[in-house]
Amino acid sequence: MIFQKIARSIIKISFDFSIKIIESLNDMEPYKLKERKLSAMTDGTLGKAISNCLRDNNLSLVPGYESHDLKHVILGYEMTPVDEIRMQAFMLGNRNYTLPCFIILIFGMVLLPSKWSLFFKDFNKGRNAKPIALWSVEEYADKDLSVLQYEVFESASNPQNNINIVSIISYIAMFAGVFGMLFCLPFLFSVSVADLVGAGFPFVGGAILFIGGLNALSNVSRQH
């Protein structure tokens, strides 16, 4: 329980710090104007829902990450540390093969091993939903939110349950990679150079195993 609290605090601090850096490096006035436009939209639209979500969580649009807020609203994931990781698991299953997505999910799996089954469910949910990685606020803000959600999830009634040997090997590689990273993690905080070197290489190897397995699993999902 204590480890879970520490892990969630680490995730939240990391995300908050990243946002502050992005905001400090950009002119935020155009994004504040965009927020005002979203807040003026009709109730029930995606734009209005995004505005309400930002207001309720005391957040602002972040340059380059407007579509991130769009996904939170459409998919129904809250803006909490755990739900942030869950959404990345969904998006990876949804064919969003980006480096930030991989990194955030690995970060979450290392710090929150008790949530692996939940992340896996989100990954499968993403596999069976309509791809939304390229959706933008500008294109969909004035659309009805409930209609968009139906459009995204209507294909979920035909889940892809076919598991072949490549999928099985991919899952084994992912499990082995995360297990290796978890095993090495305590040694990375050691003051001993020998421990750091001895644990550092296996930790990187575990990350490569996980990413390789996830990439193979993603390729399998594209073929169905």
Same domain? For 173 and 220 the reply is yes
Q: Is 112 exposed, middle or buried (0-12, 13-18, 19+ CB in 10 A)?
A: buried
Q: Average of pLDDT values for 81-108? A: 86
> What domain range is 209 assigned to?
162-224
Instruction: State how far the Cα of 72 lies from the Cα of 64, in Å rounded to an integer.
Output: 15
Predicted pLDDT at 203: 78
Same domain? For 136 and 193 the reply is no
Report H helices in the chain.
Answer: 2-24, 29-39, 46-56, 66-75, 81-93, 99-111, 116-127, 137-140, 145-153, 165-184, 193-222
- Does 117 score more than 80 pLDDT? yes
Predicted pLDDT at 13: 81
For the segment 153-210, what is each residue's pLDDT rounded down to a tens digit?
985 555 544 445 556 666 667 777 777 777 787 777 777 877 777 878 777 887 787 7
Instruction: State how far the Cα of 42 lies from the Cα of 143, in Å rounded to an integer.
Output: 10
Predicted TM-score (pTM) above 0.85: no
Same domain? For 112 and 217 the reply is no
Predicted pLDDT at 1: 61
Of 122, 145, 160, the residue that ends a domain is: 160
How many domains is the chain built from?
Answer: 2
Q: Pick the more confident residue, 143 or 115.
A: 143
Of 140, 160, 180, the residue that ends a domain is: 160
Predicted pLDDT at 162: 44
Instruction: State how far the Cα of 128 lies from the Cα of 157, in Å rounded to an integer.
Output: 8
Predicted pLDDT at 116: 83
For the segment 24-76, what is each residue's pLDDT rounded down to a tens digit?
888 889 989 999 999 999 999 999 999 999 999 988 888 877 889 999 999 99
Same domain? For 98 and 181 the reply is no
Of 144, 160, 176, the residue that ends a domain is: 160
